[in-house]
Structure 1
């Protein structure tokens, strides 16, 4: 199993083949290699291909996968109805488009969409064309500092709010699934608990992002004549809200309410309520899109990669490979002698550095979070579930290189900024973000009982 893990890490870091193809290959390796290995329960009896198949397909029956797939349907519904575009233009038309305001607008739009569009790539793909249109209509230099700062802000704000909101990124749900597997569903953070833990960090980082971008890429113009009017005209051109937009907005608000009150006012879990919402979106007559529209917009490869990622983690846990590796790490680095804060500081720094080699936070989560969760579980007198959820925050630290996150690549494709400009901003954000993690680990998160 450790050989399969090593293969997965190498193939995902090198990107020698498509993520979906490599995931299918990893599933096949689990079936046959684990299937031919002695079982943990009885070393005299092999798992067999049926046992290997059960492990390889474990991710496809996981509630985390159901939530991710449902989230992709919601993102598709936003695209079909144009509600995401309306939200973005509404915000821009009311705040304006000056040199300072346009960056604030980019951050606020990203925050708002993070609540209703549970896909980082989809959010970015929505905002980028709107901002490019704004750059063109305002006659800004597409290669100038202001255009570059807008696009970099969109990418970085998306990564920041991947941490602030649990349903905003697939890797969050994958980490939560691993915590549920190891410690039980009652030990994993609910949607609102994640928001309480992560949103304050994200708010402060959004402010830091604004000042870092202003410092590194000072705009060539502070006031854009007619900027607010141009955005208002674009918003008016959309016309009145359509019936599908209204229904989707209502469903989204109900889902947000159900997510926020999980385990507080009701016992309905996030995955179940989201699936119910998607069912309403697809119902004839009262829905907002057809199946044919949805299936063209859903990135099915993402579903496969996510499912196999869960299967990989499950196989590492069930074969005891994760436990063996974690105990070796604990002994080698004497983690059992360190304080909870020191353990969090060390492991979060490791995740931030190793992310430089990964182009997918989901792949990084699938490969390493099961190991780190077992490392935490091996340390006595440690709040392992709480620290594991906090380590999930650092998985989204894709600030430094454009290749570290899909949303970065979407923005890079606009050719409004260089990799050097992105990295200059990203380095400052990474240092500030890590320092803020440590500050929260000493102050806010202990109050929440997470450390």
Structure 2
């Protein structure tokens, strides 16, 4: 998780505290419990400091957790009157995200991601794909996108996938002796960053928000979404978005032939040498993991447990590829803290009734209750994409959006409405981070290479967002309807 160059912004922190205090101290809002109102104040603080990046994300997560403990502890257990809950009982609620199965999946997934990078297996896979597709500019762009999709099954982190691809993309630019601002350099790096969040739509374990969404739906609605289910629901949509991105990049830009050709890829392959024993073991671990993920409906072992088992294999004798110290020093623990608190906020918002109340206040006047599932998804799509522009963290956005939508749909109490599927499909929009580099660490990492400019991202990202929205609406009336999702 990236931190801002100026870690703390005192003025914004103060404004966030004032906003939180104003909400928590104002007269009791009708239809909302005391605890619910306090949590809404904490949520407002969280949203403000996340948008303004007033403090590093991990530290903001700790602060949010503390405020939830205090406000919940000094609020009645139920309603607006009665015995206070107490801070000791508030702690399990405020930290519920850290004992959530989704958090386990992300934590173990991050170890797997770092193990792949540690062994160099990611680089070998990427180079082999590029060797197959060729070294013409358009083919390299296409090959880079394909690499992103393949790595989605292997590296369960959006930022990590982007970070794994950047050295390869920069290596190609340098090897071809190209200017960093050349058309090919700019578009290659842009694609390297943008493909990472798109591929997260395809695989349950390819993005931190996915386990959070699945866990929230499971705990609230008692509906299970398996690894294979997610692939079926999100895979075709992710592939279509990737194809659209490729078409936009190659049609909106004119590429010059590259010097060197296949010899450069061959040179890189010679540099990394033959496959090492650690790479072989890492490959076997992931092959076993993917097979177990894909056959969950048969053996009934959930993806979280499978990933935990795969993580264990990383350290055992004979199967291991690294020591605990080697991998733990590479894992971004701050991201795990933020993710855990994000789940906690969602859980507390739902349990206190704040999510349903807030959703009703924000979206209740749109008449969603009388609409079909497809129409609900259509109506809320644009507001969600607009909200997306304000967030630099996909996890933070999911922590706000998913409980809100879920709470609203639950409040309708409509037995004919598929609450879980509408929540799931609407959550796909948190990955529409194609316009601003700061909307996800993946594009921020590539933007930091000083290759492409903001106008380059606008050129591809704006039409990709508009066309992608159209495809999203089309999917609600076709594919997702055909497979019985809505």
* Category of TM-score, reference length = shorter chain: over 0.9
Residue in structure 2 matched with residue 93 of structure 1 by the alignment: 131
Aligned residues of 1:95 and 1:105 also touching (Cα < 8 A): yes
**TM-score relative to the length of structure 1:** 0.96
- Deviation of 1:330 after TM superposition, in Å, equals 5.3
Q: What SS does structure 2 have at the residue aligned with 1:357? A: coil
Greater RCO structure (CA 8 Å; 6+ sep): 1
Aligned residues of 1:161 and 1:168 also touching (Cα < 8 A): yes
Q: Distance in 2 between matches of 1:211 and 1:367?
A: 33
Residue in structure 2 matched with residue 150 of structure 1 by the alignment: 188
Q: Which runs of 5+ in 1 are unaligned?
A: none
Supply the RMSD in Å over aligned alpha carbons.
1.4
Aligned residues of 1:330 and 1:336 also touching (Cα < 8 A): no
- Which of 399, 413, 426 is equivalent to 2:461? 426
Moved over 6 A (4+): none
Write the mapping of 1:30-429 to structure 2, written as runs, cut at 5 A: 30-40=68-78, 43-184=81-222, 187-219=223-255, 221=256, 223-263=257-297, 265-329=298-362, 331-379=364-412, 380=414, 381-429=416-464
Q: Distance in 1 between matches of 2:364 and 2:185?
A: 50
Q: Distance in 2 between matches of 1:294 and 1:363?
A: 25
Deviations 1:230-283 (A, max 9, x none): 1122112211111111111011011111111112x1100000010001001111
Q: Distance in 1 between matches of 2:80 and 2:191?
A: 55
Deviations 1:286-342 (A, max 9, x none): 301101111111000011000011111111112121122234345422211222111
- Deviation of 1:395 after TM superposition, in Å, equals 0.8
Q: Distance in 1 between matches of 2:364 and 2:380?
A: 15
Q: Which runs of 5+ in 2 are unaligned?
A: 1-38
- Deviation of 1:368 after TM superposition, in Å, equals 2.1
Q: How many residues align?
A: 446
Deviations 1:103-133 (A, max 9, x none): 1111011111111011111111111111111
Q: Distance in 1 between matches of 2:408 and 2:423?
A: 10
- Deviation of 1:6 after TM superposition, in Å, equals 1.0
Aligned residues of 2:169 and 2:192 also touching (Cα < 8 A): no
Aligned residues of 2:145 and 2:195 also touching (Cα < 8 A): yes
Q: Distance in 2 between matches of 1:436 and 1:290?
A: 45
Residue in structure 1 matched with residue 18 of structure 2 by the alignment: none
Q: Distance in 2 between matches of 1:419 and 1:330?
A: 32
Residue in structure 1 matched with residue 58 of structure 2 by the alignment: 20
Q: What SS does structure 1 have at the residue aligned with 2:137? A: coil
